[in-house]
Amino acid sequence: MSVHASKIRLLMELRRQGITDTKVLSALERIPREDFVSETFHDQAYENIALPIGYNQTLSQPYIVALMTEALKVSDRMKVLEVGTGSGYQALVLAKICRRLYTIERHKPLLDQAELRFKKFGQTNIVSKAGDGTKGWKEQAPFDRIMVTAAAADVPPDLADQLAIGGIMVAPIGEDTSGQWLIRVTRTETGFDVEELVEVRFVPLIPGLPE
């Protein structure tokens, strides 16, 4: 099956799974997923599965990328923080929809690769840095939207503090990979509203930097 046919099949599958946001589907259609994994996995790039990218990290399943992006309710006026750049795939999806994306990755070699991809695709509205994602990006706060791509036992308080009033955060929560939930947190004038969306499985969100 050609790359084009594989991509169309995947997009149809995502629609069947309930993804309806045309901006999200369009972003997924325009980004070549095979460019974010090693050649070994090119033939699986448009399967609806997670793929390894090194450093015990993964390129999330396309359905989860689409679901998290749709749940974030992003518009082109928004400033977005992503915690966990990884391969850069999710960052590029978000950057095609938002005004400006700030993204943090604790593994410098992964970030270096992701930054090369941002340049390759000519995406100029991404600002990235190596750092501890649990601390957020205080200098650039507040953010209209925050996406966390690794699971913590609870929402890191620094990230919650950096969400604008009316802002939304989407994050997987739960220490055990068999009991994680994707949640959507909306900041209100008086606190935070939390919705559970779906059960998920993510690598852990680890504070600090690699040894």
Catalytic residues: 60
Report the DSSP pairing between strands 57-59 and 180-187: unpaired
Helix ranges restricted to H, the chain: 3-16, 22-30, 62-72, 89-95, 108-120, 157-161
117 is written with which tokens? 């991809």
Contact 33, 46 (CB under 8 A): yes
Tell me whether the omega of the peptide bond preceding residue 142 falls within 30 degrees of 0, making it cis.
yes
Q: What angle do CA 108, 153, 68 make, to 5 degrees?
A: 70
> What are the tokens at 157?
């308080």
